[in-house]
Amino acid sequence: MEELVNELIEKTGKTKERYEELNKLVSDPEVIADNKEWKKLVKERSQIEEIAFAHDQLKKLHEDYVSCQKEYEKESDHELKEMFYEEISRLKEEIEKKVEEIKVLLLPKDANDDSNVIIEIRQAAGGEESALFCSVLFRMYSMYADKKHWKVEVMDLNETELGGIKEITFMVKGKGAYSRFKYESGVHRVQRVPETESQGRIHTSTSTVAVLPEIEEVEFEIEDKDLKIDTYRSSGAGGQHVNKTESAIRITHLPTGIVVACQDERSQIKNRERAMSILRSKLYEYYQGQIESEYKEERRSQVGTGDRSERVRTYNYPQGRVTDHRVNVTSYNIEGVLNGDLDQFIDALTLKDRADKLAQA
């Protein structure tokens, strides 16, 4: 353990030095004048802050531990020796906890964890019942975001006549939003008696969820010549404005065939800005895969075909049960879950992800 502690103190010490260097840089007037560079450095500082603090804590614990050991060895009084022994035991336990914490902190992090998140929910198997469940999922995610004091902005919405949602794209704005929502990708299965079912039979339907980080700055250029931009009239509620103004925007990225749309804002300019935000995120994911086939495979891995057997989570209304099949976590408070109590699942998925990475490391 002593060797590992010294190794971690040395390793995190380098991060601590960089953290202190960044503290000076972000206060430098010349750096502040370059807004892009300043934001980049502030983001880097934020990413290593926990490790820098953990370094200080581990170093202090280790110093106290070594000091207590020395006092214990030279002390002759039985009561005082016993006191030092108890303190050594306590410090050893604290050091072991801090070592495990630092191991997790040193794991490679998803560079997008602090980003805003773009979520797409789509109708899958089950017809209108699937569309109605899409609206339930959107409400659930909105309430979860509200509990975290994050802001939800609808970017595109296609509703059914009965109040369901064929598909919806929305953004959740808040630090760390992507780190929490990224585990929601996949097929969500619902088992319940639809309102239209006269004989009380339980139906099984699915909705698909895809999660993307918002990419504000990208290392590739989106050229105007590669974009086909169409305007059209917004659908849904909105009175006379909807019928008279072509404020909705549809953008097609010609080289990749990726299509995005936004119709939530009354202003065509704002809809274009939002549509471009979605496009940047989708292109980022696309180019991460290098070629179009890899992009499509990545999308497929998130949502599959929408078949009922491809579920990541099941919401069983008659039993009042919600089960996440990836971590075998079950809640019998379906009402609470649908009101945004998702942390029990997300925490378990986060721990599983960390455990998998630690095992690989």
For residue range 325-347, what is the model confidence (pLDDT) as tens digits?
999 999 999 999 999 999 999 99
The letter for the amino acid at 357 is K
Residue 309's alpha-carbon distances to 198, 204, 331, in angstroms, are: 26, 10, 20
Sequence-separated (6 or more) residues with CB below 8 Å from residue 91: 61, 64, 65, 68
Task: Give the residue, 339 or 219, on which the prediction is more confident.
Answer: 339
For the chain, domain boundaries? 2-105, 117-217+310-360, 224-294
pTM above threshold 0.85: no
What is the pLDDT at residue 295?
A: 41
pLDDT for res 215: 76
Q: Give the CATH number of domain 2-105.
A: 1.20.58
Residue range 117-217+310-360 in CATH 3.30.70.1660: yes
Question: Please, what is the average pLDDT of the chain?
Answer: 86
Give the full edge-to-edge strand order of the sheet including 248-253: 227-232, 248-253, 258-262
* Long-range contacts from 45-53, C-beta under 8 angstroms, 24+ separation: 45/19, 46/114, 47/109, 47/114, 48/15, 48/18, 48/19, 48/22, 49/19, 50/105, 51/12, 51/15, 51/16, 51/19, 51/102, 51/105, 51/106, 52/12, 52/15, 52/16, 52/19, 52/20
Report angle CA 139, 143, 146 to the nearest 5 degrees.
Answer: 140
Q: What percent of the chain has pLDDT over 90?
A: 51
pLDDT for 166-213, tens place per residue? 999 999 999 899 999 999 999 999 999 887 666 778 899 999 999 988
Least confident of 19-28, 203-212, 243-252: 243-252
Residue 262 · residue 155 · CB < 8 Å: yes
Inter-CA distances, 1 with 4, 62, 102, 251, Å: 5, 11, 14, 57
Higher pLDDT, 315 or 7: 315
Q: Which residues contact 153 (CB under 8 A, 6 or more apart)?
A: 170, 171, 173, 264, 274
Predicted confidence (pLDDT) at residue 226 exceeds the cutoff of 50 = yes
Mean pLDDT of 79-83: 90
Summarize pLDDT for 258-310 with one digit per residue, the tens.
999 988 767 888 888 888 888 988 888 777 665 445 444 555 555 554 454 56
Q: Which stretches of the chain are DSSP H helices?
A: 2-25, 29-33, 35-74, 78-105, 128-147, 177-181, 240-244, 268-288, 292-303, 334-338, 343-360
pLDDT at 293: 52
Residue 156 buriedness (CB in 10 A; 0-12 / 13-18 / 19+): buried
Write the single-letter amino acid at 31.
V
pLDDT of 115: 87
Answer whether residue 351 shows pLDDT above 90: no
- What one-letter code names the amino acid at 221? E
Distance (Å, whole) CA 203 – CA 131: 13
Contact yes or no for 326/314 (Cβ under 8 A) = no
Measured CA angle at 316 (ends 315, 319), to 5 deg:
140
Site of tokens 């919806």:
168
Report the pLDDT value the prediction gives residue 236, as an integer from 0 to 100.
Answer: 54
Torsion of CA 288, 158, 231, 262, to 10 degrees: -50
The pLDDT value given to residue 217: 58
β-pairing, 151-159 vs 321-324, is unpaired
| CATH number 3.30.160.20 is the correct assignment for the domain at 224-294 | yes
Does the pLDDT at position 35 exceed 60? Answer: yes
What 3-state class would DSSP assign to 307? coil
